Amino acid sequence: MSNEHHSHIHESELLSQEERVSRFTKSSILRAGSAALQAWGGITGNQPALIIEAAEEMTDAMTFGAAAIEANSDRKGVVAKARKWAITFAVSASTIASGEFAREIVSDKFSFTKPSDGFDFAHNDIKAAAGAIALNGIVLFMNRKGRDSKKTSDKFAFRDSLRDFVIPSSVLGIAAVQAPHWAEYMFELGGVSYGWYNTKQLYNGWKSKKK
């Protein structure tokens, strides 16, 4: 009876592992789709900012891909390499986000009180941004349980998908009501800071488990 119970627990853990791998893989694909959508919107709408955001989304997609490999393997060497790449991609995403935030402020000539531009769904860049938010909403829904997980990668996935849904949604909302630029900057700065915090938590979480 004891052996059967142990086997049941093992199968449950294995299923949990499979679910995590599936969730990370699907998230990676959706994030890559979001990146492609934003790249299309940026190119056809002549919006360099969207192209940069597409690059950030792609590094996020690669982070999720590395997390899927990390969750799927029991080999220490593979796990170590996957974690290294995941952290590298996460740092890259945060770096790109920081650079884009600085570029945007400079390009706007520090016009903090200037009203944000409105938006028109007839424009491809707005269609792409809205579509990307929708895809990231799905990613957030899939990773919602990561908030209560003990797994470092699960927690990272939840925080990252939360940031990439809430911040763009807020910025789009600010543009809709044409609020001052400082409101947009406030949310974007919060997103950049949260991204670096999340990356640090990913590194610290895996580092402590390695010890």
pLDDT tens for the 211 residues of the chain, in order: 444 444 444 444 445 888 999 999 999 999 999 999 999 999 998 888 899 999 999 999 999 999 999 999 999 999 999 999 999 999 999 999 999 999 988 887 777 777 777 666 667 888 898 999 999 999 999 999 999 999 999 999 999 999 999 999 988 888 878 888 788 889 999 999 999 999 999 999 998 876 5
User: Which residue range is the domain that position 12 belongs to?
Assistant: 2-210
Its pTM stands at: 0.86
Give pLDDT tens digits for 66-89: 999 999 999 999 999 999 999 999
Residue 207 is which amino acid? K
Total domains present in the chain? 1
